[in-house]
């Protein structure tokens, strides 16, 4: 794909590309380009923009099948990624200037997250992330067969699918 784009850019800028093998500088049929003029600079910018757009428009293959992991008996088992919302309140429920209460709550949240994660890990889950400020929750990837058992763990208030766990600026 890159070679095709490189040849396209070379044709637009300098003429047909003849050889680029062996790490040597490209050889052109019509020789090197003359010094650029204002109109050629505009063409060069246009070619760069078109090339960038072509690279960004390349479709990425995405599988419609859910991710699978090998299971102990040789069969494949489907996994899902979910948020486990826990029972302790989030840190945002306390004012910022209540440092002692926030410190105590953070310790309770971390203890609860660790306790629940130990139980969920025993069911074959892998931790993806944790949040404490806005919500007390853990993101985990787990076998779908374990979903009902996870919902019954003490401290798990609700389970919901992960739609996006990245920050807005990422």
Compute the distance between CA of residue 155 and CA of residue 118 in angstroms, rounded to an integer: 12
pTM: predicted TM-score of the whole model, two decimal places: 0.54
Residues sharing a CB contact under 8 Å with residue 147, sequence separation 6 or more, in sequence order? 80, 82, 159
- What percent of the chain has a predicted confidence (pLDDT) above 70? 53
Q: Work out the burial of residue 142: count CB atoms within 10 Å of its CB; fewer than 13 is exposed, 13-18 middle, 19 or more buried.
A: buried
- Look at residues 22, 25, 26, 24 and name the one whose alpha carbon lies nearest to residue 7: 26
Residue 159 has pLDDT above 80, yes or no: yes
Confidence of residue 55 (pLDDT cuts 50, 70, 90): low
Q: What share of the chain is helix, strand, coil (3-state, %, to 5)?
A: 40, 20, 35
Tokens of 135: 């919500």
Task: Give CA separation, 111 vs 86, 116, 146, 160, in Å.
Answer: 11, 9, 22, 21
pLDDT digits (tens, 9 = 90+) for 74-116: 555 688 999 999 999 999 999 999 999 999 999 999 999 999 9
pLDDT of residue 122 exceeding 90: yes
């Amino acid at each position: 794909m890159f070679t095709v784009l490189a040849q396209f850019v070379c044709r637009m800028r300098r003429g047909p590309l003849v050889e680029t093998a062996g790490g040597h500088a490209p050889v052109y049929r019509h020789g090197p380009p003359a010094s650029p003029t204002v109109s050629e600079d505009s063409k060069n910018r246009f070619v760069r923009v078109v090339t960038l757009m072509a690279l960004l428009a390349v479709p990425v293959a995405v599988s419609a099948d859910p991710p699978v992991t090998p299971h102990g008996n040789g069969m494949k088992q489907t996994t899902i990624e979910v948020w486990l919302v826990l029972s302790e309140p989030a840190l945002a429920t306390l004012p910022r200037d209540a440092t002692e209460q926030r410190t105590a709550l953070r310790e309770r949240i971390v203890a609860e997250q660790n306790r629940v994660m130990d139980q969920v890990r025993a069911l074959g889950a892998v931790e993806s992330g944790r949040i404490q400020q806005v919500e007390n929750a853990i993101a985990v990837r787990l076998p779908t067969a374990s979903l009902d058992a996870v919902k019954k763990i003490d401290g798990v208030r609700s389970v919901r699918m992960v739609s996006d766990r990245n920050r807005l600026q990422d």
